[in-house]
Structure 1
Amino acid sequence: MISKTLLYFQRLTRQLWLRVVLISLCSVLALALAPLLTPMLPEGLSHRFGRDAVLPILTILASGMLAVTTFSLNVMVSAYRTASSMSTPRVYRLLLEDTVTQSVLATFVGGFVYSLCAIILFRAKVYAPESAIVVFAMTIFVVALIVIAILRWIDHLSGLGSMDHTLRLIETRSRTSLKQQAKRPCLGGKPADSDEQPEGALPIPARRSGFVRFADMARLNEIAAEAGAHITMHRAPGDFVLRGRPVAWAESGDESLCKEAAKAIEIGDVRSFDQDPVFGLTLLAETAQKALSPGVNDPGTAVEVMGRLERLLWETVSGDPTEADCMFEHVSMVPVSPKLLLDSSFAPIAHCGKEDPFVMKWMQQALTALSSHPNKQLANSATDMGKELKAAP
């Protein structure tokens, strides 16, 4: 299982500013290497390419990349806001992690930093005249990278902000979370029958109010093993907890163990995909709910969402969670039930689309298909929900 440190590193790599900083640093480093590479070149080349051949190109790059970066940022923000208004506001945080957009914008900013720094170094006479050929070769390489980035950006803009792109992004991220949940139903811990307080157990209080975003199961297991205790998660990732209320229970532990265990459970203002397989299904359901609202009246999008939900549940829900391998013997939690997955996805859509026969027909078809799922809990839940919808007035 992923540790808290590795989780923070993964989150850091999803930030736009990190890619911009890294590519900008690479640009500056390349310019710093130019004087070192100059003595390795034949003397005849330095007479063919001087400062006058390089500076005009660098000037064009500096002015052009600044304009392109500003324009691209405006397009990105506008597209993301449009996608959020069409689907659900919570998808905005997922859109910000789009790697294609981050790489393209980082390339544009890196090209601007490279050309501007090169101009400054030439004007300050830091570079010898012989270094112009090295800078010229680097500039050609930078131009090639920028052209490739522009082509990627043009292709990406054709779908950026559209409903198809947004739904595909949510489904892809949801599939990853659901597969991880199927592989480790209890995040690698032991399955618990109930999250109620065990007899004689001490509460592990939440350090702040908010959503449980991440539980460092390896750290919790280490803490419990050292103390000869057992920790039961009372609140799973995605649940809301108030500060001071129990987020877990510690059997055979003391106050110091509870304080250390509380530090291994991250609580934040918003939910996260990292260990919360229900979150993605909730976003898809919210998108269908908005499509079925009177102001939008788009049952086609709701039907498409139900198709994606049906596909996700059919392909990712596994068998009995008690049969999964246990990595952390000293930590347990209640596994995410297939019924919860079904209630978080189809139930909200049924509530908003109950007056539309077209939508309800598709939902009945989806539930009928899921009722034959190999997982008996999911199959029974789908059958029961289908019967409830038919019996509803």
Structure 2
Amino acid sequence: MISRTLLYIRRITRQLWFRVVLISACSLLALAIAPWLTPFIPEDLGERFGREAALPVLNILASGMLAVTTFSLNVMVSAYRTAAATATPRVYRLLLEDTITQSVLATFVGGFVFSLSAVILFRAGFYSEDAAIVVFAITVGVVALIVGAILRWIDHLSGLGSMDHTLRLIEERSRTSLRQRADAPCLDAQRAEDDTRFQADGTAIPAQASGFVRFVDVAQLQTLAEEADTQIAIHRTPGEFVLRGRPVAYAKSEDEDLCKAASRCIEIGDVRSFDQDPSFGLTLLAETAQRALSPGVNDPGTALEVMGRLERLLWENTPDEDAQTGQDPSFDRVLMPAISARHLLSCAFPPIAHAGGDDPAVIDWMDKALGALGHHPNPAMAKAATKMRAQRSDR
């Protein structure tokens, strides 16, 4: 179970600016330590690889990398907007976390910062002839990194913004989220069938803001419950919407300080997150199929591909909601409902059925998919799929 601190660190590392700052800082550090490496330079290299050899290359990098970075940013924004327009607007936030794009752009910006800073330091007389040899050697390494980044960028551009790339990205992220919940259906908390007794006897823990529940720090809630010798039941799980002041959890205690501290352990935001919400990815895939089936697009082939991905995700990664029954959870003082197979299934297929109910190919594929999921090794998924298929047949 990831802590809130590690979650925030992971979110920061997914930001484009983080990699740009990190690589730029490394380039400046390389320039700063160059004079300290001069004792390791052979004396006969000064005439061949000194100041006059390094400055022309640095000038080319300084002028070229700025143009390449600006062009690449324009391409990235255009590709992401295209993907958001053809798939679903909510995929834009996922595309911004594309590590390949971030690494390539960070390399370009880092090369620009390195070359421009090196030119300034040379003109200021900061480097001796021996230090200039070190800078030249580092410059050769930077050129090699930039060439590698360009080749990687060219390969990546062939699919950036395409429907295949977008669907693959959503599926991979959804698979990761589903597998995490498969390992911990209740986020390592004690499974709660319902929180009725907490609502009757306990104290409501109000939401600090209106929005979607994005993250529940179960470990911190466990610590608070142990200190107060009580139990806390989660009322709104990740992915659900809650209004400010409404109960997001209940505690079997009347301690107001405990309720305030527990409320801070439940993050609420304007948008949903993949971190603890496996149904979010299924919703994005279903929205993509809905848009493909709209009269303005009329692309049932994409909808069929999406249903294939949904069927694969649900078959291979459905969490077993009964897995923690009879087991000792890691956080026994926190109660949370398990993610149900019925909920996952309802996020995947009904929206597509609503949009493509008049298309025989869509309905036929959905009927076969539900039939296959009806033989799922997870009894809950098999039951939910069989029931949904029967309901569709009755219509």
Which bin holds the TM-score, normalised by the shorter protein? Answer: over 0.9
Deviations 1:18-48 (A, max 9, x none): 1000100110110111111113212211122
Q: How many residues of Structure 1 are paired with residues of Structure 2 in the alignment?
A: 392
2:317 aligned with 1:316: yes
Alignment check: 8 A CA contact 1:191 1:321 kept: no
2:218 aligned with 1:217: yes
Residue of structure 2 in register with 1:345 after alignment: 348
Please list, as runs of the form range in 1=range in 2, the aligned pairs for 1:315-334 lying within 5 A after superposition: 315-319=316-320, 320-323=322-325, 326-334=329-337
2:128 aligned with 1:128: yes
Q: Which secondary structure state, in structure 1, belongs to the residue aligned with residue 258 of structure 2?
A: helix
Query: Partners in 1 of 2:254 and 2:152 — Cα distance?
Result: 55
Deviations 1:139-186 (A, max 9, x none): 100000001000110110010000000000000000011111111111
Residue of structure 2 in register with 1:202 after alignment: 203
2:293 aligned with 1:287: no
Query: Partners in 2 of 1:95 and 1:283 — Cα distance?
Result: 13
The 10-residue stretch of structure 1 (189-198 or 283-292) with the greater mean CA deviation from structure 2:
189-198
Letter in 2 for 1:205: P
Q: Which secondary structure state, in structure 1, belongs to the residue aligned with residue 349 of structure 2?
A: helix
Alignment check: 8 A CA contact 1:220 1:264 kept: yes
Alignment check: 8 A CA contact 2:104 2:149 kept: yes
Q: Which secondary structure state, in structure 2, belongs to the residue aligned with residue 321 of structure 1?
A: coil
Letter in 1 for 2:25: L
C-alpha RMSD of the superposition? 1.0
Of 336, 341, 354, 2:339 maps to 336
Q: Which secondary structure state, in structure 2, belongs to the residue aligned with residue 160 of structure 1?
A: coil
TM-aligned CA deviation for residue 256 of structure 1: 1.0
Residue of structure 2 in register with 1:304 after alignment: 305
Q: TM-score, normalised by structure 2?
A: 0.98
Deviations 1:73-128 (A, max 9, x none): 00000000000001100000000000000000000000000000000000111111
Deviations 1:215-248 (A, max 9, x none): 0000001100110110000000000111110000
Alignment check: 8 A CA contact 2:319 2:341 kept: no
Query: Partners in 1 of 2:173 and 2:331 — Cα distance?
Result: 26
C-alpha spacing 1:95/1:197, structure 2 compared with 1 (3 Å)? farther
Q: Which secondary structure state, in structure 1, belongs to the residue aligned with residue 161 of structure 2?
A: coil
Query: Partners in 2 of 1:197 and 1:24 — Cα distance?
Result: 56
The 10-residue stretch of structure 1 (341-350 or 322-331) with the greater mean CA deviation from structure 2:
322-331
Alignment check: 8 A CA contact 1:229 1:253 kept: no
Letter in 2 for 1:338: A
Query: Partners in 2 of 1:97 and 1:26 — Cα distance?
Result: 21
Query: Partners in 2 of 1:197 and 1:104 — Cα distance?
Result: 54
Q: Which secondary structure state, in structure 1, belongs to the residue aligned with residue 201 of structure 2?
A: coil
Residue of structure 2 in register with 1:156 after alignment: 156
Q: TM-score, normalised by structure 1?
A: 0.98
2:259 aligned with 1:261: no
Query: Partners in 1 of 2:58 and 2:143 — Cα distance?
Result: 10
Please list, as runs of the form range in 1=range in 2, the aligned pairs for 1:74-223 lying within 5 A after superposition: 74-196=74-196, 198=198, 199-223=200-224
Query: Partners in 2 of 1:325 and 1:337 — Cα distance?
Result: 20
Please list, as runs of the form range in 1=range in 2, the aligned pairs for 1:4-15 lying within 5 A after superposition: 4-15=4-15
Query: Partners in 2 of 1:252 and 1:239 — Cα distance?
Result: 24
* Identical amino acids, percent of aligned pairs: 67
Residue of structure 1 in register with 2:243 after alignment: 242
TM-aligned CA deviation for residue 53 of structure 1: 1.3
Query: Partners in 2 of 1:49 and 1:388 — Cα distance?
Result: 77
The 10-residue stretch of structure 1 (317-326 or 33-42) with the greater mean CA deviation from structure 2:
317-326
Letter in 2 for 1:276: D
The 10-residue stretch of structure 1 (251-260 or 152-161) with the greater mean CA deviation from structure 2:
251-260
Structure 1, unmatched stretches of 5+, are none
Alignment check: 8 A CA contact 2:188 2:330 kept: yes
Please list, as runs of the form range in 1=range in 2, the aligned pairs for 1:58-77 lying within 5 A after superposition: 58-77=58-77
Query: Partners in 2 of 1:125 and 1:196 — Cα distance?
Result: 75
Alignment check: 8 A CA contact 1:227 1:253 kept: no
Query: Partners in 2 of 1:196 and 1:344 — Cα distance?
Result: 25
TM-aligned CA deviation for residue 197 of structure 1: 5.4
Residue of structure 1 in register with 2:253 after alignment: 252
